């Protein structure tokens, strides 16, 4: 990584960390009209929003870092695309907060459309950032590592499209897909590729009954 790309990642890390830190500001003191612990418990949507937002922002940071570990130079288009992605990152806590509150208000479907749609946009932005890196020749020569990232990003945008479409049919199923994709992106693309290769070898080596 050059000093130029290092500055981009340092700025991005700062945005990720600020977005994660500001989440706690949404938590308020328990209302004085209720006993302390009852008031604390009544604010559980805020705690759920904090945990989910922190988890998903952390996963996005992991994947951003994995991509930038292959970066060897930058471009103006990379700067602009990266800024758009960071805008998506700081937006995520808002629909997450609405999602946690919607459990109580009953507007679950409408908010789920916004929530899952936001992650679909994030998936497109990650793919756009990756596309800029590939077409601009900004990545290193670790072909297998770059290919693994490409596969995970392509699968990700497809699954988020499905997740978004499923929202109109069944909200809980769409949220389960969204959570499953978060777990998928938590694992390194290289580790996923190794696991797939190992499974293929075991299948080929299995005796035929």
- Report the chain's terminal Cα–Cα distance, integer Å: 52
Query: Residues 22, 50: contact at Cβ < 8 Å?
Result: no
Structure tokens at 173: 């199923």
**How far apart are the C-alpha atoms of 87 and 98, rounded to whole Å?**
18
pLDDT per position as a tens digit, 54-98: 999 999 999 999 999 999 899 999 999 999 999 999 999 899 888
Q: Which of 15-19, 98-102, 161-165 has the highest mean pLDDT?
A: 161-165
In a 3-state reduction of DSSP, which class is residue 71? strand
In sequence order, what DSSP letters do the residues of 77-128 get, joined into one string? HHHHHHHHHHHHHHHTHHHHHHHHHHHHHS-HHHHHHHHHHHHHHHHHHHHH
**How far apart are the C-alpha atoms of 63 and 182, rounded to whole Å?**
11
**How far apart are the C-alpha atoms of 132 and 77, rounded to whole Å?**
7
Task: Report pTM.
Answer: 0.86
Q: Which residue has the tokens 């060897």?
A: 72
pLDDT per position as a tens digit, 6-42: 899 999 999 999 988 888 877 778 877 888 888 888 8
């Amino acid at each position: 990584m050059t000093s130029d790309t290092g500055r981009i990642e340092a700025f991005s890390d700062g945005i990720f960390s600020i977005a994660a830190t500001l989440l706690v500001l949404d938590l308020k003191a328990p209302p004085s009209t209720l006993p302390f612990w009852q008031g604390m418990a009544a604010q559980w949507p805020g705690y759920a929003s904090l945990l989910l937002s922190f988890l998903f922002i952390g996963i996005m940071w992991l994947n951003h870092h994995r991509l930038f570990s292959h970066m060897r130079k930058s471009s103006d288009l990379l700067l602009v695309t990266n800024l758009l992605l960071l805008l998506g990152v700081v937006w995520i806590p808002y629909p997450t907060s609405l999602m946690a509150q919607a459990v109580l208000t009953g507007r679950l479907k409408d908010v789920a459309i916004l929530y899952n749609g936001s992650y679909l946009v994030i998936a497109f932005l990650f793919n756009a950032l990756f596309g800029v890196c590939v077409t601009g020749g900004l990545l290193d020569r670790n072909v297998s590592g770059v290919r693994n990232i490409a596969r995970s990003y392509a699968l990700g945008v497809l699954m988020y499209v499905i997740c978004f479409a499923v929202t109109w049919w069944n909200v809980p199923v769409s949220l389960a897909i969204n959570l499953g994709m978060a777990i998928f992106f938590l694992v390194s693309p290289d580790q996923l590729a190794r696991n797939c290769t190992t499974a293929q070898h075991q299948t080929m080596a299995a005796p035929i009954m």
